[in-house]
Amino acid sequence: MISIIPPRAFNFFTTFLCLSTGFALLTGCQKRIPAVDRGVQEQILHRAIGADIPQLDPHLATGVTEYSVISALFEGLIVPHPQTLAPQPGIAERWEISKDQLTYTFFLRKNAKWSDGSPLTAYDFRNSFKRILSPSLAAPNGYLLHVLENAESFHSGKLTDFSKVGISIPDEHTLELTLKSPAPYFLTLLTHWAWFPVHLPTIEKYGNMDERGSDWTRAGRFVGNGPFFFKEPANGQRMIVTRNPFYWDADTVRLNGIAFYTIDSVDAEERAFRSGQIHITDALPITKVKTYLETKNPALNIAPYLGTYFYRFNTTDPILADSRIRKALTMAINRREIVEEVLHQSQQTANAFTPPFTAGYTSATKVQTNPDEARKLLAEAGYPEGKGFPPIEILFNSSENHKLIAEVVQAMWHRELGIEARLVNQELKVYLDSRRQLDYQVCRSSWIGDYVDPSSFLDIWTASSGNNQTGWQNTEYDKLLRLASLEKNPEKRFDFFNQAEKILLEEAPIVPIYHYNSIRLIDPRVKGWYSNLLDQHPYKTIYLENP
Amino acid sequence: MIRYITGRIFQAIPVLLILITVTFFMLRFVPGGPFTAEKAITPEVLRNLEAHYGMDKPLLNQYLSYMGNLLFHGDFGPSFKYSNRTVNEIIAQKLPVSLELGAWSLAVALFLGLSLGILASLKPNSWLDYIPSTISMVGICLPTFVLGPLLVLFCSIKMGWFNASGWFDPIDRVLPALTLGGYYAAYIARLTRGGMREVLSQDFIRTARAKGASETRVILKHSLKGGLLPVVSFLGPAVAGIISGSFVIETIFQVPGLGREFVNSAFNRDYTLVLGTVILYATLIIVFNLLVDIVQVWLNPKLKFE
């Protein structure tokens, strides 16, 4: 080998390497003041909200991610109580309900204003409702307004005269809404963003009122009516909102601003929390929950959330058409074991489809785990000890958690019933497409309630529901839900729901597995943030304070 | 040379056209669409949405109108997911971020890679060789999704020097660039060492030394140009990879670049955004490969433009 030692060259390179690396390290490495500490001093909340926000237009927004931001920028007639979600006065300072529970009269605050200082009147609400129901806007949440008289016909384009929709305006501060049938959950429903007013003059400056893609939610153009508004353009990673001086209740608002971070990786979010960049995460990886629980970390926040994780059975499948088989499969699943072993207790075992205490309703019928009974039912259906039972497929969208649960269910069916199940995973949209076309046997599913009422869960299993996707239908079930929708007496109404849920659980087109919890990390200096079923957090009561 | 470059550009045009056509139709035949969601939308809403995006017309008409807008107006169309943004706008906002991340990473890769590679080649089979070679071997074996979080754990969470995620201040470029650049640096170091060893053992180097050229001059003037040849051929695909393949880095550090949009748009079935990013990346790869070919001819007199 060449053994010439090139001392000068060696010196040159090592010196160069050491100097430049050292320089690079020195310029960067200073301990920084974490954003969360600055936030506490400046009353700026730093909150991560998951994926990028596709829309700030409340009429086009579809998800809870957008709601996290939209609820800071807009306010509806009613606002949810931060703890109980009970209807509280928002833009409406009070309301009256007619005896037949069909007409709701809202008296609007005279000092309600838009963020450009212009007055907010009942006409703004009517025009906003007209916009979201316009067929050409194709608003995905427009159906939430179908409780209004004739709203559904207008939305589908059958009715073109908007004056026939159940909205009238006795004077500019009074709004009268007429329902097609009594809906005891109506006030709660009004807290949904689909009911938020939008500023039509601004929208029309950048396009037609009922046109998608009108570019009015950009910084500099945006006009809202919530406690905050925004001037700084969002750049795909952070959006900063500041106090709206024209908000009617501006004196109550304690935060000076909120910085929303769009972090679409739960792991990155957790690291950002630990490095002091954010006060509140959107979620927490399930693999880390155990550690946080064991170390009793005060930042960990687990609270019930209005949603159910369940399996659908395709009842048009020749094997699964037999309800005894569906029941046997249901009874062989030990849900408690799944929650304890796989989910580390981070979710709640589901005994029915509607989460317990939904607006005071808890299903009287419970799904049983009973392997003996399951084996008996399977034998009755012609497959004693699972003999001759063809392998079935469990479909889920690619995700480590879904896979873990499917593997446990697969093992339980094998252990208790002696039947084979194959796991099939598909990319999310492919899986949704297979599900819609009933191209599956068993598939993993979830449902999140739009509003706190059993109907938000039970309506989807009616024959006409686009979300049913099991092929299951039952005329008695449909009838009970129709009766519930017409019933004014809350007890009788819950009784109809109970009877319907009994049919659903006994016929077993679905297997409830667990009810969701929202799991996130919250800096203990965040005050006025309360956990609730819809995970809604009115910002005007939130503030930051050192212990 | 100009004829060569023009020829290559003309070759690229049919490649791009075929790519756009295949991508367009492949996307449409993939199950699930931009409006497929967990909660079903009503058939009326779906019909209106399809009408808004022109999806109610026959597929061939949609293709022709897309190509027309693209070729005559340079318009990639509106995004399906971000309903008030166009694909042109999204690319204009996110591409510079990816390019900046790419540029910093490339700088790190070249600086670390070349320095370590040259250092290792100077005194083979000594600790001066073993240490840089081991570092680069570890770098090759350590995937970015392990190195990234490790750097965050130490530099952000433990020491508090940097933000764990985001792309706000200049200092936020450090960790992503180190992670992405470090990975390529490892390869470059190995290639440089090999290339340099080969050149340093040649006769003309001995001649240079015999004529009394300083060692620094021998390295920088006589060996480096030849020693870098393997690195240059590696750089073509590497640069394209650094710019287009930074999805993992962009996710770990939440860099708002185009790499994430590229991958997510496919999941979202954001047809126009997928096409826009595919066309852009294809063009970039073609351009970088051409540049590498030109640089190689310049570095190696044995090659000629044909």
Number of H helices, E strands in chain A: 17, 18
Residue A12: pLDDT over 60: no
Contacts of A236 in chain B (CB under 8 A): 93-94, 256
> What's the whole-number average pLDDT of chain A?
90
Per-residue pLDDT reduced to its tens digit, B139-188 = 888 888 999 999 999 999 988 899 999 898 888 999 999 999 988 898 89
**pLDDT, tens digit, for every residue of B203-228?**
888 888 888 888 888 888 888 888 88
Looking at the complex, does the CB of residue B150 fall below 8 Å from at least one CB of chain A?
no
DSSP reduced 3-state for A443: strand
Q: Are B140 and B149 in contact (CB under 8 A)?
A: no
Of A13, A431, A446, the CB nearest to B118: A13
Burial pattern A161-195, b for ≥16 Cβ within 10 A else e, equals: ebeebbbeeeeebebbbbbbebbbbbbbbbbbbbb
What span, in angstroms and rounded, lies between the C-alpha atoms of B94 and B258?
Answer: 5
Cβ distance of B83 and A54 shorter than 8 Å: yes
Calpha distance A351→A333 (Å, rounded):
12
What does the pLDDT average to over B60-79?
Answer: 93
Phi then psi for residue A544, to 5 deg, are: -120, 135
Residue A2 has pLDDT above 50, yes or no: no
Residue B133: predicted pLDDT: 86
To probe the interface with A, which of B93, B215, B273 has the most A CB atoms within 10 Å? Answer: B215
Query: Which helix or strand (DSSP H or E) is residue A526 part of?
Result: strand A526-527
Q: Give whole-number Cα distances, A332 to A326, A367, A503, A513, B74, in Å.
A: 10, 11, 19, 12, 59
The predicted model gives B117-131 an average pLDDT of: 86
Quote the DSSP letter at residue A252: T
Average pLDDT over all residues of chain B:
87
Which range among A273-282, A449-458, B196-205, B234-243 shows the weakest confidence by mean pLDDT? B234-243
Angle at A397 between CA A391 and CA A398, to 5 degrees: 100
Measured between alpha carbons, how far is B164 from B251 in angstroms, rounded to an integer? 12
- Under the banding of pLDDT at 50, 70 and 90, the label for residue A355 is very high
pTM: 0.88
Is A17 in contact with B115 (Cβ distance < 8 A)?
Answer: yes
User: Is the pLDDT assigned to residue A480 strictly greater than 80?
Assistant: yes
Pairing between β-strand A257-261 and β-strand A228-229 as defined by DSSP bridges: unpaired
Percent of chain A with pLDDT over 90: 73
Q: In what order do the strands lie in the sheet with A392-397?
A: A348-349, A510-521, A300-313, A442-448, A392-397, A421-426
Half-sphere exposure in the Cβ direction for B204 (13 Å, CA): 9
Question: For A93-135, how does the pLDDT look when each residue is reduced to its tens digit (9 = 90+)?
Answer: 999 999 999 999 999 999 999 999 999 999 999 999 999 999 9
Judge contact between A58 and A131, C-beta under 8 A. no
Q: What distance, in Å, lies between the first and last C-alpha atoms of chain A? A: 68
Tokens of A406: 């499917």
Distance CA A542, CA A262 (A): 20
For the ranges A28-37, A137-146, A311-320, which has the lowest average pLDDT? A28-37
Q: Side chain identity at A452, as an amino acid letter?
A: V
Query: Which residues of chain A does B111 touch, with a Cβ-Cβ cutoff of 8 Å?
Result: 20
In Å, what is the CA distance from B228 to each residue of B181, B191, B224? 18, 8, 6
Is some CB atom of chain A closer than 8 A to the CB atom of B83? yes
How far are the Cα atoms of B53, B120, B185 from residue B112, in angstroms, in the given order? 49, 12, 6
3-state secondary structure of B36: coil
A264/A166: higher pLDDT: A166
